[in-house]
Amino acid sequence: MDSAVLLDLLGNENRRRILRLLATKPCYVTEISEYLDVSPKAVIDHLRKLEDAGLIESTTDDQRRKYFRISRSLRLEVSVSPYGFGAKSAYPAKNSLDMSGRCPHLSIEAPDGSESSNTLADLASEYARLQDLDRELSLAQRWVQGRVEDTLAQIDERLGTEADSRFFAAILSALLETDGSVAAVADDVGAHEETVADALHRLADVGVVARDGDRFQIR
């Protein structure tokens, strides 16, 4: 789902309160109306928008009363810093996703899937382990973000305060991963070759990179 759409949708406090309520149990319109202290008509409008976005779904019971509940898990991350603004959303990965080799900087042990792991005691133990892992990943993410900003600040200092540090950092990283040609670097960073050529010449002017024919390398 588009993160900008999510941000607009969740910018409304009553919609956030509806989701908090539905995260505890399925509810019908009257329950939600009483919880929010707003009219059923307003609740129905909020529910329609959340349902259209795929965040909630509804079912009808034997008394023909419509219940709403959250349809699936979704993660929304927003990053705001002096070096950029970004938002991204993602659904949880399937259980069948093979994590081996995907996270070389982390040690993640997947359950073996044996029958013994399906007992309640083992499931509770696995839940506790995953909660610990979630906290560790959150801490690691904060550490990485701090290191990224510190690195970009140092690049700013080396290149001057007017530099687009994130773009130049991507250029320098691409020089390490490619043959150093303008075309290869442009393809790696996803930018036009003229823009990349200008950036490389600027980096050469301040002595950060050296030119060797039609290729560049970090000094």
Residues listed for the chain: 219
pLDDT value of residue 192: 93
pLDDT of 24 strictly over 90 = yes
Mean pLDDT (the chain, rounded): 87
The mean pLDDT of 8-31, rounded to a whole number, is 95
What whole-number percentage of the chain has pLDDT above 70? 93
Kindly report which listed range (87-96, 102-111, 118-127, 197-206) carries the lowest average pLDDT score: 102-111
Determine how β-strand 56-60 pairs with β-strand 66-70. Answer: antiparallel
Has residue 161 got a pLDDT over 70? Answer: no
Q: Using alpha carbons only, what angle is made at residue 76 by residues 43 and 83, rounded to the nearest 5 degrees? A: 130
DSSP state of 25: S
| Structural domains for the chain | 3-70 (1.10.10.10), 159-218 (1.10.10.10)
